Chains A and B, each alone.
Chain A
Amino acid sequence: MTEMTDMRTVYGETLIKIGEENPNVVVVGADTTDSLKTKPFGKKFPNRFFNVGIAEANLVSIAAGLANEGKVPFASTYAIFLPGRCVDQIRNAIAYPSRNGKKGLNVKMVVSHGGLSVGADGGSHQQIEDIAIMRVIPNVNVLIPADTIAVSKLTWIISQIHGPFYMRMTRSKTSLIHSESQEFEIGKGIVLRDGSDCTIAACGITVQMALDAADSLKQEGISCRVLDMFSIKPIDSSLLEKAARETGGIVTCEEHNVLAGFGSAVSEVITETYPVPMRRIGVQDKFGESARDSEVPLLLQKHGITSINIANSVKDIRSKIR
């Protein structure tokens, strides 16, 4: 078993390192700073840390005001309380205001508890609509890192480039996918496995599933290309087109509603560049439910989000290609 690490811990540690280098970085929280692991930043930089209470609309709007003044605010809470609850404030106070050629205000919305894998808190707290909500807002960039290495590197990157970013982390610990030397670039996907028979594109916790599926298919003689598409917007169109052209089919997998989510984003590219058969694995337009940590795999299985389902979809596509 690979090493499991915690995204929020790494996020909090990274923020402190960034904060030491960049005095303009500030952190805003909404009564979840302990959980999001941003509290240590507040201990270290009390003047640059603001807890606005359980008031998410206020959270993102204050972050917008800070960004307007040249600060680099990281606004963090749980996924369910940010995109869904604050879509108006995100749109009008963060994404819309643009001056001097800079698109949107420089707010970094970094959330935890994305998708079904939240588990025990139940369906009410499992944000399965955030990709859809955030990616349709002009000027907003959407990132879903697959492991803590990605979290650390992407946190650094977004602190250094202008623009509104939404980054979704997972509640539970995740396995390490990438090596420390892996380079990340916004708008560029990462090829984790090369292959020629089919492509599996994933993001967040489904990247590990994609790798597992590719491993099992390999034993059956099917060679899969596996892509970590952590940058959902902007999306790496040329990498996807190349994958379509070279492998002839794409399976996507996401911990999100299949409607307007990651798979949709991929299919938008594929239909316009190099149409090939696709399968989109994800939540089939339904809500989730409670599941204890040990039961989360069962919850995901109930929604078809498993490596087995990915593998089956790959085989299904291949039967259509032939």
Chain B
Amino acid sequence: MGLNYYHILKRIREARKLVIRGITAAGSGHPGGSFSMAEIMGCVFFKFLRYDPKNPLWEDRDRLVLSKGHASPGLFSNLAVAGYFDKSEIETLRKFESRLQGHPDFKCPGVEFCGGSLGIGLSFSIGMALAARVDGKTHRIYTIIGDGESDEGQVWEAAMTASKYKLDNLTAFLDRNFIQQDDYTERVMPLDEELIGDDISEMWKNAARWKTGDKWRSFGWNVLEIDGHRIEQIIKAIRSVQQTKGTPSIIVSRTIKGKGVEHMEDNPKWHGVAPNPKIVPIIDLELDCQFLIAPSIIAGDMTNLENEVKRAAQGRADFIHLDVMDGLFVPNKTFDHNKIKELRPITPVPFDSHLMITDPVKHVRDYVEAGSDIITVHAEVCDESSFGEIHDILRTNEVSVGLAINPDTELPQWADKFISELDQLILMSVIPGKSGQKYIESSHEKTQRITKFLAEKNFSGFIEADGGIDLSNIESCFLDGARVFVGGSAIIGQKDVRATVSEFRKKILHARRKLLIQKAHSLGGTELVNKWIDLHEVGKKKSELIQIAKEAGFV
């Protein structure tokens, strides 16, 4: 089974937008904590949780308890995406006679716990878990608690009890976003250690200073510590706790409050404030502009691909891009599914397998079984029937579906019916076959044209730019419409992969900021540009944005 990566990613994006929609309509609410747990919610809801929106109280369903109930928009939005109610209902959030109360409430179908008063949810979950045990049921209980919430003594009463009763059907997530209502957690009530000085980032950088996990370990829990925004880490952690017997598990998830919207990120002010409605279209665009970096390991040492995978993973790549060449579809040969199977145990980072092979429909199952999370096949060697078959195989196995076209190929007519279903479209900007080629300039125009075309066809996936991408052209590729960037020699060919990936991200971020400033300007002129820039209070974001706006002539 693959990660179902894009399936989850798209739903997380949609849920975040619904959070903004709801809170804006309400004029109040908690975006910060809704966004810090967005990936956790997305993975639980769309990968693991067993539920039936038509029968919300189905006995054998898994239970999701949101103990940090103020993040209710983050729950309601996922319930809406999951189909419990119409998405438009999110606009009734916090309003009179709405089912979507300010905090989770049984009035809303799918809500398992009336949260809000903090510190209660884990105990409540223990009751659920004990009842399941009495009844011999195998459903699981997932509970999300906050780090600010962990100030409550009852959390630790519950920690002891779950351990005493060896509740292995209970999994807690700690949404460790380091911010509570008043201030940073380590200032209000240190969970790791007291923050000395003002630079909270020092605290985050040094994982050795994180002690929360040790607290839970000492209470007898199975503790996993992960980056709570990385889908593959969350999924790996949940898969692992499902195998853990005889002890409850907690997944301590390092997260960023307000994650996904730059001006909300890490800013305690966005714990519980609604955005200005004028800013919302800019936020929506920002949420649509999520980008991913996929280093291609064939640009490295082909005799030691294991090491290249490690370098990419340690370099914090979003995907590992695997170029499979069969010597037929392209003149070169690289490796096949057997190699992918060998590489798979090295890292949980998604495998983005790009099959440059003839007759992909014959081989696609091998690549699924080898552990690919995304599989992209070439339009040149597919037709409607074979791609349909490939699509179905991939979906059944929770592998994301990609289609690729060469520089001199256009999207075939038959692809139309798959566009809304497609997760990823690779636009090759070099002639495929070998690494190290120069970007074909006409690809810019082509990407722009196809982006426009796809938008009209309800494409909700991601365009992946592949071939000759480097620091000099990545910004324009982003502005063309690409959101995933394969880096061959420009990343894997570099000594310091981590620094290079970080450079890539900086460049794309710069382009994204430019795009958002343009959006602000088109919506409300200089005034709105200034207003939006002013929201970026934390760190150097504001001065950087002013610089970009100046360069663009908007301030």
Contact of B124 among A47, A52, A64 (CB under 8 A): A64
Interface string of B99-142 (1 = CB under 8 A from A): 00000011100001110110110011111111111110000000
Please give the distance in Å from A299's CB to the nearest CB on chain B. 33
Specify which chain A residues have a CB less than 8 angstroms from the CB of B106 in the assembled complex.
97-99
Specify which chain A residues have a CB less than 8 angstroms from the CB of B161 in the assembled complex.
52-53, 55, 58, 62
Q: Does A3 contact B (CB under 8 A)?
A: no
Cα distance A69–B139 when bound, in Å?
Answer: 12
Question: A62 — nearest CB in chain B belongs to which residue?
Answer: B127
Please give the distance in Å from B108's CB to the nearest CB on chain A. 10
Please give the distance in Å from A124's CB to the nearest CB on chain B. 20
Specify which chain A residues have a CB less than 8 angstroms from the CB of B123 in the assembled complex.
57-58, 61-62, 64-65, 89, 93
Question: A69 — nearest CB in chain B belongs to which residue?
Answer: B131
Cα distance A89–B158 when bound, in Å?
Answer: 13
Question: A52 — nearest CB in chain B belongs to which residue?
Answer: B161
Specify which chain B residues have a CB less than 8 angstroms from the CB of A73 in the assembled complex.
127
Cα distance A50–B128 when bound, in Å?
Answer: 13
Contact of B131 among A71, A97, A99 (CB under 8 A): A71
Contact A65 B157 (CB under 8 A): no
Q: Decide: A58 near B134, CB < 8 A? Known: A98-B106, A99-B106.
A: no
Question: A99 — nearest CB in chain B belongs to which residue?
Answer: B106
Interface string of A106-128 (1 = CB under 8 A from B): 00000000000000000000000
Q: Does A153 contact B (CB under 8 A)?
A: no
Cα distance A58–B119 when bound, in Å?
Answer: 9
Contact B124 A70 (CB under 8 A): no
Contact B127 A69 (CB under 8 A): yes
Question: A45 — nearest CB in chain B belongs to which residue?
Answer: B134
Q: Does A246 contact B (CB under 8 A)?
A: no
Cα distance A48–B131 when bound, in Å?
Answer: 9
Q: Does B165 contact A (CB under 8 A)?
A: yes
Contact B134 A47 (CB under 8 A): yes
Q: Does B307 contact A (CB under 8 A)?
A: no
Contact of B132 among A47, A53, A57, A69 (CB under 8 A): A69
Q: Does B160 contact A (CB under 8 A)?
A: yes
Contact A61 B131 (CB under 8 A): no
Q: Does B28 contact A (CB under 8 A)?
A: no
Contact A61 B127 (CB under 8 A): yes
Cα distance A52–B161 when bound, in Å?
Answer: 6
Contact A63 B127 (CB under 8 A): yes
Q: Decide: A67 near B116, CB < 8 A? Known: A55-B160, A98-B106.
A: no
Specify which chain A residues have a CB less than 8 angstroms from the CB of B153 in the assembled complex.
57
Q: Decide: A67 near B120, CB < 8 A? Known: A26-B134, A53-B161, A97-B106.
A: no
Specify which chain B residues have a CB less than 8 angstroms from the CB of A69 in the assembled complex.
127-128, 131-132, 135
Q: Does A184 contact B (CB under 8 A)?
A: no
Q: Decide: A65 near B160, CB < 8 A? Known: A47-B134, A71-B134, A93-B114.
A: no
Chain A CB within 10 Å, residue with most, of B113, B120, B125, B129: B120
Cα distance A62–B119 when bound, in Å?
Answer: 12
Contact A58 B158 (CB under 8 A): yes
Specify which chain B residues have a CB less than 8 angstroms from the CB of A53 in the assembled complex.
157, 160-161, 164
Interface secondary structure of B, over-half rule: helix
Question: A64 — nearest CB in chain B belongs to which residue?
Answer: B124
Specify which chain A residues have a CB less than 8 angstroms from the CB of B125 in the assembled complex.
65
Q: Does A92 contact B (CB under 8 A)?
A: yes
Cα distance A64–B132 when bound, in Å?
Answer: 14
Q: Does A293 contact B (CB under 8 A)?
A: no
Q: Does A68 contact B (CB under 8 A)?
A: yes
Cα distance A117–B367 when bound, in Å?
Answer: 76
Question: B115 — nearest CB in chain A belongs to which residue?
Answer: A92
Q: Does A156 contact B (CB under 8 A)?
A: no
Interface residues of B in 158-195 (CB under 8 A from A): 158, 160-161, 164-165
Q: Does B448 contact A (CB under 8 A)?
A: no
Q: Does B212 contact A (CB under 8 A)?
A: no
Q: Does B154 contact A (CB under 8 A)?
A: yes
Interface string of A27-62 (1 = CB under 8 A from B): 000000000000000000001101011010110011
Specify which chain B residues have a CB less than 8 angstroms from the CB of A96 in the assembled complex.
114
Residues of B in contact, count (CB < 8 Å): 32
Contact of B119 among A57, A64, A67 (CB under 8 A): A57
Please give the distance in Å from B151's CB to the nearest CB on chain A. 14
Interface residues of A in 133-186 (CB under 8 A from B): none
Cα distance A53–B156 when bound, in Å?
Answer: 12
Q: Does A66 contact B (CB under 8 A)?
A: yes
Specify which chain B residues have a CB less than 8 angstroms from the CB of A62 in the assembled complex.
123-124, 126-127, 130, 158, 161
Chain A CB within 10 Å, residue with most, of B117, B124, B135, B157: B124
Contact B120 A68 (CB under 8 A): no
Contact A55 B114 (CB under 8 A): no
Cα distance A53–B154 when bound, in Å?
Answer: 12
Q: Does A88 contact B (CB under 8 A)?
A: yes
Specify which chain A residues have a CB less than 8 angstroms from the CB of B131 in the assembled complex.
26, 65-66, 68-71
Q: Decide: A89 near B120, CB < 8 A? Known: A50-B130, A62-B127.
A: yes
Cα distance A61–B117 when bound, in Å?
Answer: 12
Cα distance A71–B132 when bound, in Å?
Answer: 10
Cα distance A163–B48 when bound, in Å?
Answer: 33
Contact B127 A92 (CB under 8 A): no
Cα distance A62–B170 when bound, in Å?
Answer: 13
Specify which chain A residues have a CB less than 8 angstroms from the CB of B164 in the assembled complex.
53
Please give the distance in Å from A259's CB to the nearest CB on chain B. 25
Contact A67 B127 (CB under 8 A): yes
Question: A67 — nearest CB in chain B belongs to which residue?
Answer: B127
Question: A70 — nearest CB in chain B belongs to which residue?
Answer: B131
Cα distance A82–B317 when bound, in Å?
Answer: 53
Chain A CB within 10 Å, residue with most, of B112, B113, B133, B165: B113
Cα distance A318–B116 when bound, in Å?
Answer: 52
Contact of B120 among A55, A61, A99 (CB under 8 A): A61
Please give the distance in Å from A30's CB to the nearest CB on chain B. 10
Q: Decide: A61 near B114, CB < 8 A? Known: A26-B134, A48-B134.
A: no
Question: B119 — nearest CB in chain A belongs to which residue?
Answer: A57
Contact A92 B134 (CB under 8 A): no
Specify which chain A residues have a CB less than 8 angstroms from the CB of B114 in the assembled complex.
92-93, 96-97
Cα distance A17–B184 when bound, in Å?
Answer: 53
Contact A61 B154 (CB under 8 A): yes
Specify which chain A residues have a CB less than 8 angstroms from the CB of B120 in the assembled complex.
57, 61, 64, 88-89, 92-93
Please give the distance in Å from A59's CB to the nearest CB on chain B. 8
Specify which chain A residues have a CB less than 8 angstroms from the CB of B126 in the assembled complex.
58, 61-62, 65
Specify which chain A residues have a CB less than 8 angstroms from the CB of B112 in the assembled complex.
68
Question: B124 — nearest CB in chain A belongs to which residue?
Answer: A65
Specify which chain A residues have a CB less than 8 angstroms from the CB of B105 in the assembled complex.
97
Specify which chain A residues have a CB less than 8 angstroms from the CB of B119 in the assembled complex.
57
Specify which chain A residues have a CB less than 8 angstroms from the CB of B129 in the assembled complex.
65
Cα distance A88–B114 when bound, in Å?
Answer: 12
Cα distance A69–B126 when bound, in Å?
Answer: 11
Specify which chain B residues have a CB less than 8 angstroms from the CB of A64 in the assembled complex.
120, 123-124, 127
Please give the distance in Å from A86's CB to the nearest CB on chain B. 10
Specify which chain A residues have a CB less than 8 angstroms from the CB of B157 in the assembled complex.
52-53, 55, 57-58
Contact of B127 among A55, A57, A65 (CB under 8 A): A65
Contact A65 B128 (CB under 8 A): yes
Interface residues of B (CB under 8 A from A): 57, 105-107, 112-114, 116-117, 119-120, 123-135, 153-154, 157-158, 160-161, 164-165
- List 10 additional A-B contacts (Cβ < 8 Å) besides A61-B126, A63-B127, A68-B124: A58-B126, A61-B123, A61-B124, A64-B123, A68-B113, A69-B128, A71-B131, A89-B120, A92-B120, A97-B113
Please name 24 pairs of A and B residues whose Cβ atoms are closer than 8 Å in the assembled complex, sorted by A: A47-B133, A47-B134, A53-B160, A55-B154, A57-B119, A57-B120, A58-B123, A61-B123, A61-B158, A64-B120, A65-B127, A65-B128, A66-B127, A66-B130, A68-B127, A68-B128, A69-B132, A71-B127, A71-B134, A89-B117, A89-B120, A89-B123, A93-B117, A97-B106
